Chains A and B, each alone.
Chain A
Amino acid sequence: DAKTTQPPSMDCAEGRAANLPCNHSTISGNEYVYWYRQIHSQGPQYIIHGLKNNETNEMASLIITEDRKSSTLILPHATLRDTAVYYCIPNSRGSNYQLIWGAGTKLIIKP
């Protein structure tokens, strides 16, 4: 499984776009990039995933570089409720879909 590097913490102003980077330079060709978040004291929540194309859903957009060595999760209009720890997780969909969780990025949205 690929290792990831995420900044330990970030701030963003409410209403602005939050851009969360993730480095996964050792990602293999069959590994997707998954993003989850965990709001304080709650179970993690799935956000989005992608392989090599950019993806968008109602929660966020995912931009994956052409070489697939890094990605950026974009929350287009951050709200206070988006304050959470965000996890970037490469996964090959094999090994019975086990996910390996790092420490993630603590995103704080400020009013």
Chain B
Amino acid sequence: DQQVKQNSPSLSVQEGRISILNCDYTNSMFDYFLWYKKYPAEGPTFLISISSIKDKNEDGRFTVFLNKSAKHLSLHIVPSQPGDSAVYFCAASDNNAGNMLTFGGGTRLMVKP
């Protein structure tokens, strides 16, 4: 049973508009959440993270929102750019259980010029 789920395999948005990528989790022990971005033929690269003591973290065009009661987080990209086209993975960790990440299945974002 997947503990971290990204229910949208793909998302297409117009350049300049907002991209919203969603992620749900089931393990209430997760206390740290991350988003990674992956281009074809490359490894994932860290994008942004949020601790469970916060509900929002912002870094430039990227904002992550955490709703602990709903066990849901989202990544907002504003404004979206063609270079943002990639696969985005949500990941979570339970820092009391050790230094391990559990990943979602990924969402492929396509930003059209």
Say whether A and B bind each other.
no
